[in-house]
A and B are shown apart, each in its own frame.
Chain A
Amino acid sequence: MRKAFRYMTAAAALAAIASFTASAAGAAEEVKIGFTAALSGDFAAYGENMQRGLELAIGEINAKSDNGGITLAITTADDRGLPSDGVLIAQRFCSDETVDIVMGYSFSSVALAAATIINDCQLPVLASAVTSPDLAGVSPYFRRNVLTDAVQGELAGTYAAKVLGAKRIAALNQQDDYGIGGTDAFVAAAKAAGAEILSREAYVLGTKDFKTQLTSIKAQTPDLLWVGGFYTEAAKIAQQARQIGLDVQILGSDGLLSPKLIELGGASIDGTILYGMFDPSVAKPEVQAFVKAYKDKYGEEPNAWAALAYDAGYTLNEAAKLAAAKNGKVDRVGLNAAFAEIKAVPGVTGPTTFQENGNREGTVVYLQVKDGKFILAPKQLN
């Protein structure tokens, strides 16, 4: 008797579970993201920021009661920043039928290595930190929600010469596709707008000591120092410039946009101008909500990497909803078609629309560090 009762409860429980999953499955469509970025090694921090931003977006989206039956799931693979791992991971996601889209990528070279494989298996990619112009049109399945370094650099060069009125510019760039591409465009645009480029020097990502370069730059008496790189190095550049008594306006690329810039740079970073697609200081409710949710979850403020990955999550959600509405299901090809159709998906980095070559349309805002905070720079490029 007792045994029978136990069986009955067990059966009832099973039935309940079954009916629950069945009811959910009626409309439910799980969209699985294959996330890949460098999560170990020297430059794991950037990948980690992206992972956090994306996971936050997924959590919020899945908590929505009405999301057209779409839920997002994620599987993560660490590419160590190595192109060879990028190839393996691309193949892994391709072979895994449940993966509908690849997101992430913290280094352009990893995405470039993966591009052919991902193209062959028609797996859409929505990258959010890779800015190499080589990636434009690399595959009809490849998209990114970050502006290419060429576009960014050009805007910044014009801004430096025309808006800030810089006449004598010294340039430092990170020795990689991001730093070189952005700085090439910056230099060309600044020259075209009438500024003189006094010097241009490269440094390797991870460099700690800039005093030598800054001492040489000091002797050139520039009125603007361009830094095409990431926040970790920019913070050191600002500090060491101050240490050797070089007092110059610093203008930086969007790799500087991180609260860590201020934390690492301290008082020295005050006054630095940079651009980005994400303005953490803006009073827009969705930005404020994002900053707060991120802080609550991870105990730190979000940076550009996190914000772009967060927006990519929502952009994917829009595309998935559109694909589900059209085809009744979400698959790779349908999702890819939907990406081409969605327009102006709102986000904390502004609206997302993709061009035919996979690049994002958009522009940047100029920010300034003031009293340990990012504020909108008083002068913008119109």
Chain B
Amino acid sequence: MDILLQFFINALMLGAIYALAAVAYTLVYGILEMINFAFGELFMFGAFLVVSFMLPQVSLFGVMVPMPGLPFLLAAPLAIFIVAGMGYLIERCAYRPLRFAPRLAPLITAIAVSVALQNLAQSVWGAQELAYPSFFLLEAKPIQIGGAYISMVEIAVIVTAAVVMTALHFYVKKTRMGRAMRAAAQDVEAAALMGIPVNRVIAMAFIIGSGLAALAGIFYGAVYLFAHPHMGFMPGLKAMVAAVLGGIGNIRGAMLGGIVLGFAETFGAAYLPNGSAYRDAIAFGILILLLLFRPQGLLGTRLPNRLADRGAMAFKGSASAIDAGLARLSAFFAGRDLVRYASWGILAVVAVSVFFIFPSPYWARVFVFVLIYALLASGLNIVVGFAGLLDLGFVAFWAVGSYFTSILFVEVLAKGYGVDVSSVWWLFYVNLLLGGGLAALFGMMLGYPTLRLRGDYLAIMTLGFGEIIRLVATNWVDLTRGPMGIRGIPVPSLFGYKLGSPVQLYLLGLVLLALAVFLIALMVRSYLGRAWVAIREDEAAAEAMGINTARYKLYAYSAGGFFGGVTGVFFAHSQQYISPLSFTLFENILILMLIVLGGMGTLAGPIIGAAIWVVFLEVARDMPFIQQHPELRFMALGVLLVVLMIFRPQGLLGQKRQPLMMS
């Protein structure tokens, strides 16, 4: 009984924190139908600011700076105030210019903002955890109820969360601004016509949401007694899941979702077999089940697919000076034909790389990675760029391909049956297809339940799927050797001739990439590709034109998954070692950013994006400044992406994204 009561207390506290942050997501989503990924980072800033204000001195950018040493009750409101201001600024600078952009644009921008903020925090506060200074709530003795304990902080968290959320509920119900918010949530344009200052309403939603996120972060820090640059990432995702769980856009739903998630996680970790290792997967598992059976969430109402009137990525020409300049540059590549354009892209990469790869195995190895990322980005581009579906679980396909071939070669053949793997060299080539096929199958499985969902639900669902695969790879030690990884994967060979040197791997990769681009080009130029683009540009119209959108979305997932799987097989054999560390959500975000960088929905874009980024990463290693602050590279990428989304959403060399055979 004591144990149950203790679980109950733990769950309620965790749920209250999730609920607070979930309300932030839901508030903004309700009006803008946009998932502001950056709330996770604002959550983190809340905790860091409070800790900084409460300490007598703090190391900022590696320099000790004296701090006021404020009491908690002053520091907390101040931190919330500042974070709310940050939220306002982010909305004003990064999101507002994209208000009427295609719906993928703000979503990708939000991810980029989140990456930039996270790495900024690491530059400012360093990579170490900062201890939470003690204050009156922490010093108070916990209350004992039977054998269970509840601390003062936990009571404060639960009570404050309840009060704040009740207040918010009445604010939205009763006040003028609240009514304006609800009106905007009904229909932004109609609200504007009725004289509601929509910009102010949206700004207010961001301010309140950011404040709530900061409050949640402050509490989270106080309960677990720390602040860290990456502390907001997971709770942010969970809060997002909680918001979806309750029915996104619904404030009461978000509260309920948070609490449900808190309970599911606590009791799941306690009672499921190996539950504590899988606890992060519990949230995503529930999410997937929910989206399967009740996609509108617990308290949500089924909404008409209002977003369909805005295409996923249909950019209407943004005329700017940069645009004109780059257009001229692009004109150099000439050739309206998508395929010719792509071959130019590949040729450019090859032409540049030959000068490096032969003299230096190091540069050859770098370009092997360019090829791997180019392959991954090309695969993801089918889903994101052509079909206009955001996929945050793409690394899972990569992982499936990698693990399939590694387990088969090392664990089954070499260890299980004692086969000399060099005698079955041909299996590598078979595995390229099988691994790709298996990943495509996973793509189907992933795609099927998401068919009914709108773009942003889908993004979260794929994210959950990706995380689950990674957690399984980490925790199912008997199958995957878990975090130890699988080593001794043979290098590719041809009739017993090993293709293990960097240059040989490069050439092999190049063949794969050329084949992949060729296949993708074939698909894109066929009826299939036209259907994808139609869905991307306007799903409702596509449906009306008789395209079975569900089926074509599924094809997009499996086609993307296929190339992810193929890349995985090649990756495993070229690296000869794999571990779950390679298949993180951050890698997925990175690949997505590379596509945006190069140009979504083009064949050359992913290749160019991958080449620019991987080469930049390596060149940047020599810069002394980067040696001291390596995280700045990712911050720079985040900022670049935000700027790109606002001023040149079609990517660096995206020319005009091809209208595809319509001309």
Contacts and interface: CB of A to CB of B under 8 A. Distances in A.
Given A211-B10, A215-B270, A132 B122 contact: no
A328 interface: no
A22 interface: no
A283 B364 CA distance: 51
Nearest to A205: B483
Interface string A239-267: 11001110000000000000010011010
Interface string B617-650: 0100100000100110110000000000000000
A52 B362 CA distance: 27
A80 B634 CA distance: 11
Contacts of A219: 2-3
Given A176-B483, A212-B7, A82 B581 contact: yes
B224 A209 contact: yes
A180 B277 contact: no
A39 B631 CA distance: 8
Contacts of B128: 45, 48, 260
Interface string A94-132: 111000000000011110110110000000000000001
A10 interface: no
B630 A39 contact: yes
Contacts of A263: 131
Question: Could you say which interface size class chain A belongs to?
Answer: 35 or more
A109 B579 contact: yes
B366 interface: yes
Nearest to B360: A95
Interface string A22-44: 00000000000000000111101
B371 to A, nearest CB: 12
B225 A236 contact: yes
Contact of A264 (B225, B366, B578, B630): B225
B276 A213 contact: yes
Contacts of B10: 209, 211-212, 215
A208 interface: yes
Nearest to B147: A245
A245 B276 CA distance: 20
A301 to B, nearest CB: 12
B582 A84 contact: yes
Contacts of A177: 483-484
Interface in B473-515: 474-475, 477, 482-485, 487, 502
B64 interface: yes
Contact of A83 (B59, B134, B575): B575
B361 A94 contact: yes
B581 A243 contact: no
B224 A87 contact: no
Contacts of A180: 477, 482-484
**Chain B interface mostly helix, strand, loop or mixed?**
helix
B127 A44 contact: yes
Given A216-B270, A236-B224, A211 B6 contact: yes
A175 B147 contact: no
A204 interface: yes
B577 A113 contact: yes
Interface in B604-623: 618, 621
Interface string B1-38: 01100110010001000000000000000000000000
A84 B575 contact: yes
B369 interface: yes
A42 B634 CA distance: 13
A91 B3 contact: no
A226 to B, nearest CB: 15
Contacts of B14: 209
B573 to A, nearest CB: 12
B182 to A, nearest CB: 35
B487 A112 contact: yes
Main secondary structure of the interface of A (DSSP, over half): helix
B225 A88 contact: no
A47 to B, nearest CB: 8
B631 A40 contact: yes
Given A203-B276, A212-B276, A299 B64 contact: yes
Interface string B227-251: 0001100100000000000000000
Given A92-B362, A212-B270, A48 B127 contact: yes
Nearest to A264: B131
A329 interface: no
A244 to B, nearest CB: 5
B5 to A, nearest CB: 9
B15 to A, nearest CB: 12
A318 interface: no
Nearest to A245: B149
A47 B361 CA distance: 26
Contact of A203 (B277, B365, B471): B277
B144 A245 contact: yes
Contacts of A92: 362, 365, 618, 621
Centre residue among B148, B266, B483 by max chain A CB count within 10 A = B483
A95 B358 CA distance: 12
A82 B575 CA distance: 12
A175 B3 contact: no
Interface in A25-75: 39-42, 44-45, 47-48, 75
Contacts of B230: 41-42, 206
A142 to B, nearest CB: 13
Interface in B132-152: 134, 142, 144, 147-149, 151
A341 interface: no
A88 B366 contact: yes
A88 B266 CA distance: 40
A42 B276 CA distance: 20
Nearest to B369: A88
B189 interface: no
B528 to A, nearest CB: 32
Given A84-B369, A95-B362, A109-B484, A266 B280 contact: no
B139 to A, nearest CB: 10
Contacts of B226: 208, 232, 235-236, 264
Given A107-B581, A202-B277, A244 B149 contact: yes
Contacts of B587: 82
Given A109-B485, A112-B577, A266 B225 contact: yes
Interface in B546-589: 571, 575-579, 581-582, 586-587
Contacts of B420: none
B122 A44 contact: yes
B362 A215 contact: no
* Shortest 7 CB-CB contacts between residues of A and residues of B: A95-B362, A44-B127, A78-B630, A91-B365, A176-B483, A40-B631, A109-B579
Given A208-B220, A245-B149, A299-B64, 10 more contacts: A47-B127, A78-B621, A96-B362, A176-B484, A202-B274, A203-B276, A204-B474, A212-B270, A216-B270, A266-B225
28 contacts: A39-B630, A40-B633, A44-B631, A45-B129, A76-B627, A77-B621, A78-B630, A81-B581, A83-B575, A92-B362, A95-B360, A109-B483, A109-B484, A112-B485, A134-B484, A134-B487, A180-B482, A201-B277, A202-B277, A204-B474, A208-B231, A212-B7, A213-B276, A215-B270, A236-B226, A245-B149, A266-B131, A266-B134
